[in-house]
Amino acid sequence: MTKVIGLTGGIGSGKTTIANYFNEMGVPVYIADDGARNVMKSEDIIDQIKRSFGETLFENNILNRAKLAEIVFNDKDKLAELNAIVHPAVKKDFEVWLLQHKSYQYVIYEAAILFESGRYKECDLIITVTAPEEIRIERVLKRDNTTREQVLSRMKMQWNDENRISRSNFVINNDNLKNAKEEVVKILKILDIKQNQS
């Protein structure tokens, strides 16, 4: 049976970069954010978001994700409301994807809020990607059209590294991509050993 490896880390930790490297090494990767983007195009999800957040977030039936992010990352209750709509749909989407990859020994499920959403319970192993806070902030400022205050606000909404690490099987320190890639190779070797033993 295919093993699911959860891959997580705070905003700006570079977890998607690490996920892509696992993919380059031959491990199929499901990116939960991409899954969420896809399911949020479905009529059913659009209707639910309209009922909860209003039609002003839509132009020509297309969701303004920046406006939605501004609402949910400043209000824990609104974030929980959105997650209650999107997470079950992402779960179904992942289950379909997993069936399509059942010939693989293991796959990666990459999600920023793996622990917060409770999805970690469905993973066989968990990898947390970390990086110093200042590096994470700089990465997000370069990547997104945002402010330092907004980045810190989003960080506060997520678990801290200490909590994530205490519940993880592996930790990749991604302050230097070369070293982080070496950690990926080490983890793959360990996973191959585990697979051969089971």
pLDDT tens digit sequence for 86-139: 999 999 999 999 999 999 999 999 999 999 989 999 999 999 999 999 999 999
Cβ of 175: how many Cβ atoms within 10 Å? 14
Tell me the pLDDT band of 145, cut-offs 50, 70 and 90. Answer: confident
- Mean per-residue pLDDT for 21-38? 95
Segments of the chain assigned to CATH 3.40.50.300: 1-28+101-193
d(CA 196, CA 51): 50
What is this structure's pTM?
0.90
Q: Which CATH architecture has domain 1-28+101-193?
A: 3-Layer(aba) Sandwich (3.40)
| Contact in structure between 145 and 48 (CB atoms under 8 Å) | no
* Binding site residue list for ATP: 12-17
DSSP state, residue 160: P
* Binding site residue list: 12-17
DSSP state, residue 26: T
C-alpha torsion angle, residues 170, 173, 178, 179 (rounded to 10)? -70
Q: Under 8 Å CB-to-CB from 132, ≥6 apart: which residues?
A: 175
What's residue 112's pLDDT? Answer: 92
Residue 69, pLDDT > 90, answer no
Tell me the pLDDT band of 196, cut-offs 50, 70 and 90. Answer: low
Token pair of 175 as six digits: 């302050």
